[in-house]
Amino acid sequence: MTEIALVRGDITEADVDAVVNAANSSLLGGGGVDGAIHRRGGPEILAACRELRATSLPDGLPTGQAVATTAGHLPARWVIHTVGPVYAKREDRSDLLASCYRESLRVADELGARTVAFPAISAGIYGWPMDDAARIAVTTVRATPTDVAEVRFVLFDDAAHQAFTVAAG
């Protein structure tokens, strides 16, 4: 059974096998978690993402999917990039958000990762309400068969930590 841990902190400092990046579909860096991971990880991550774009993902990474690269200068061994959905009030896109967690765990299993750190995917600039994002994240991780021993939700602020604490029950 996968242990779930909640940590208030900076995901770029997580000492885990794999860090999940809330990426944009271009994989070429952006703001928020994505920008922080690219800045701290260094040019190796961007080079690996460019290689993926050139060889297997010319149109970018689809929403809800995941792919891995080196972690560059991060403490982790790998970065698992996943593209979360933009929140839409009039359209239920929760299946795409859940897919980000399932697909990231699938990639982690392929890599042999035993510890994985997740941010609150889509709950930043993509506008997903934090309470709902936390519920989907925790429920999906608990329901997904995986060899990952520990999933660590690394949450940037107290509000996110509180929402995940409630979701984790």
pLDDT digits (tens, 9 = 90+) for 146-157: 999 999 999 999
Query: Cα-flanking dihedrals φ and ψ of residue 161, to 5°?
Result: -60, -45
Q: Give which of 79, 65, 74 is closest to 19, Cα–Cα.
A: 79
117 contacts 13 by C-beta, under 8 angstroms: no
From the candidates 34, 92, 95, 157, which is the catalytic residue? 34
What confidence tier does 145 reach under pLDDT thresholds 50, 70, 90?
Answer: very high
72 contacts 44 by C-beta, under 8 angstroms: yes
- Name the pTM for this structure: 0.97
Task: Give the position of tokens 């000492």.
Answer: 15
Residue 1 predicted with pLDDT over 90: no
pLDDT digits (tens, 9 = 90+) for 6-65: 999 999 999 999 999 999 999 999 899 999 999 999 999 999 999 999 999 999 999 999
The mean pLDDT value for 123-144 works out to 97
Is 34 in the active site? Answer: yes
Cα separation, 31 vs 33, in Å, equals 6
Domains and CATH numbers, the chain: 3-168 (3.40.220.10)
77 contacts 113 by C-beta, under 8 angstroms: yes
pLDDT digits (tens, 9 = 90+) for 71-100: 999 999 999 999 999 999 999 999 999 999
Token pair, residue 108, equals: 């982690």
